[in-house]
Amino acid sequence: MRRVLAAAIFVVLLAGCGNKAPEAPPRRAPSATTTPTASSATSSAAVTVPVMPEVARSHTEAGAKAFVVYYWHVVDYVQQTLNTAPIEVISATTCAGCQAGIEAMRKLARRHSHLTGGAETVSSLRSEAVIPNHSVLVAFNLTNEPQRVDTPGKKTVLHPGGTTNKLMSLLPREDGWIAGELRSQP
């Protein structure tokens, strides 16, 4: 199975997201069973779109934290399958960094790149601000497993993995949340 784009590339590109309000809410991703967080390439037939937990749809502190965890499960899915549709529907269209990350994954898919490793783990979630019917800021640690990106005709890229502090802005929408901004913190 083809997997693309090291999580490190995705996170770097997402870091450029702006804080503008999203355009009209995008369509919802198709529902399916939960996704494994494999550390090596697997058959795309065995990987399914993660299902958003019901709590992640609620406009509460718990809902915001659950959405952040869900978001990174979707990133894992996208890397395993090359299907960017699920991340597109939960990322603001006005987030230039988000859209650049999505396009980078598409580019690696066109190049038939393969990714091994790179699964993400979210921990130490802390809500920085919760304002009903407004954006929510969630701080968290993101740990990436080491990963390898192989692209035909290109030099293999190795990412050592590691943990970074992140801050994600979530914007409410009728069916839950959308990622409005993502950045690294000191």
The per-residue pLDDT for range 67-91, each reduced to its tens digit, is 999 999 999 998 888 889 999 999 9
Q: What is the pLDDT of residue 104?
A: 81
The pTM assigned to this predicted structure is 0.77
Q: What is the CA 82 to chain-centroid distance, rounded? A: 13
- The better pLDDT of the pair 165, 23 is held by 165
Q: What is the pLDDT of residue 150?
A: 92
Q: What is the mean pLDDT of residues 41-55?
A: 78
What lies within 8 Å, CB to CB, of 55 at 6+ separation is 62, 63, 66
- Topology adopted by domain 7-185: Nuclear Transport Factor 2; Chain: A, (3.10.450)
Is the model's pLDDT at 152 over the cut of 60?
yes
* Secondary structure letter of residue 91 according to DSSP: B
What share of the chain has pLDDT > 70, as a percent?
73
CB count, 10 Å around CB of 35? Answer: 20
- Regarding beta strands 157-159 and 120-130, do their DSSP bridges make them parallel or antiparallel, or are they unpaired? unpaired
- CB-CB contact of 42 with 1 (8 Å): yes
Is the model's pLDDT at 125 over the cut of 90?
yes
Q: What is the pLDDT of residue 146?
A: 95
Q: What is the pLDDT of residue 15?
A: 42
Q: What is the pLDDT of residue 73?
A: 95
CA distance 17 to 74: 18
3-state secondary structure of 29: coil
CA distance 103 to 142: 22
Distances (CA, A) of 169 to 21, 134, 144, 181: 11, 10, 20, 5
Of the pLDDT bands very low, low, confident and very high (cuts 50, 70, 90), residue 140 is very high
